[in-house]
Structure 1
Amino acid sequence: MHDEYLVDKQLIDRLKGDEAIALSIIYKKYWQSLYISAHNILKDQQACEDIIQELFIKLWNNRHTLEITVSLKAYLYASIRYEVYRQVRTGAVRGEIYDNLLERLETPGTYNDIEYKELIGQVSSVVNKLPEKCREVYKLSREEHLSHKQIAEQLNISTKTVENQITKALRYLRTSLTTTVIAAITYLLVN
């Protein structure tokens, strides 16, 4: 670990000395793990590639004023984490990302018991605020894992109504759980 820190420090010094090869070495050393970290959340190849490209462009453009007070690895991961947050906050990410995160939040074992209970409590609180029919459809879909057809038959409604109610529920959850989702992203990115 100590050797890695020294190698990275030398690479930063070479970068500050305008050696483009240092940027290339840093890129080759870290791009894949940074990509995987971002892709675990965003599930969007192009967005992840863009984020990493921008990170390395900024690294090169700011090389003379670069002040890294932690390890290079920690700096790069923090930069990726920040950009993922920014994209989530500004709504630049696709809606499926929220859906995926909500599913991961509802999966036991993703977090430690206290974090899990707290996150599930927040999701449950928002779900309980949904209109009755919407809440019922959402719970049958997400908690009892029934298909749209099964829900439609059980509630004597059309499958299109089921789809509309789930879409409505997920939209409401997305807007209501932005802070929770960002907390989940934080946790998922660092673990």
Structure 2
Amino acid sequence: MLTSCFNMTNKVAISDVELIAQLQLGDETALAAIYRKYWQQLYLSAYNVLKDKLACEDIIQELFIKLWNNRDNIEINVSLKAYLYAATRYEVYRQVKNGRVTADVFDRLFECLQTPAEYENIEYKELMARVSLVVSTLPDKCREVYKLSREDYLSHKQIASRLNISTKTVENHLTKALRQLRTSLGSFFLLQMALLLLW
């Protein structure tokens, strides 16, 4: 029923408020319209963190199944979009908290966070303070390589040339630094990064 509902077309654009009202009345076309309107945005927001196509598809599918099954009791005190994003965010957090992410996901999240960009809020500053504390405990050469990479944005080759070491040694130092960050900061840090980078 759900799959066929998603394939239905809705030729008249109606507001989210009206869609919610129709959904609560058991109108499957309202669910189809909500799905068509938001599924891709929700999927991409989850995929940006998890990088797991099947897991993200499952998250979004389950979200809409729950939306339909709980339609009689649903209370949306914010916009429908905000409600759906919050539900997706919660499930992504749950995946991260339960350890269903790999070291590669951590490293990718961390690299995104280190990119100079728009993250100038309090949460970002607190996270970077935690990172600085852990970095300060790294062995001297490891810390130097890490800072040249993440703070001065030098390539592995540039770092190797400056420090007169091989690029393989640079990679080893960075791997060690990231491993130490993962171990010291743990899942809480991953959750905070996901919060900043998801939306």
Same-fold status (TM-score > 0.5): yes
Please list the CA deviations of residues 150-174 of structure 1 after superposition, one character each: whole Å capped at 9, or x if unmatched.
5456556555444333222212212
1:93 aligned partner: 101
1:26 aligns with 2:17: no
Say yes or no: does 1:111 pair with 2:113: no
Change over 3 Å in CA distance of 1:42–1:110 after alignment to 2? farther
Unaligned runs of 5+ in 1: 1-5
Q: Could you tell me how far 1:103 is from its partner in structure 2?
A: 2.1
Quote how far apart the aligned CAs of 1:82 are. 0.8
1:83 aligned partner? 91
Deviation digits for residues 109-137 of structure 1, max 9, x if unmatched?
Answer: 32126555433222111111223343233
Which amino acid is the alignment partner of residue 64 of structure 2?
Answer: F
- Match for 2:83: what amino acid? Y
- Please name the residue that 1:3 is paired with: none
Identify the match of residue 24 of structure 2 among 7, 16, 19.
Answer: 16
- Name the stretch that deviates more: 118-127 or 108-117: 108-117
Paired residues for 1:15-164 under 5 Å: 15-112=23-120, 115-149=123-157, 151-152=159-160, 159-164=167-172
User: How far did residue 83 of structure 1 move?
Assistant: 1.2
Greater Cα offset, 162-171 or 81-90: 162-171
Q: 1:13 to 1:41 in 2, by over 3 A?
A: same
CA distance in 1, matches of 2:144, 2:17: 56
Helix, strand or coil at the partner of 1:78: helix
- Name stretches of at least 5 consecutive residues in structure 2 with no aligned partner: 1-13
Q: Is the 1:105–1:119 Cα contact (8 Å) retained in structure 2?
A: no
CA RMSD, Structure 1 to Structure 2 (Å): 2.7
CA distance in 1, matches of 2:197, 2:164: 39
- Give the CA deviation at 1:181: 3.7
Q: Distance in 2 between matches of 1:185 and 1:32?
A: 19
Deviations 1:61-112 (A, max 9, x none): 2223222222211110100111111122222123233222222322233212
Moved more, 94-103 or 148-157: 148-157
Q: Structure 2: which amino acid aligns with 1:166?
A: L
User: How many pairs were matched up?
Assistant: 185
Percent of residue pairs identical = 63
1:179 maps to which residue? 188
What amino acid sits opposite 1:107 in the alignment? T
In structure 2, relative to structure 1, the CA distance for the partners of 1:55 and 1:119 (3 Å cut) is same
- Give the superposition deviation at 1:143: 3.0
The residue type paired with residue 119 of structure 1 is L
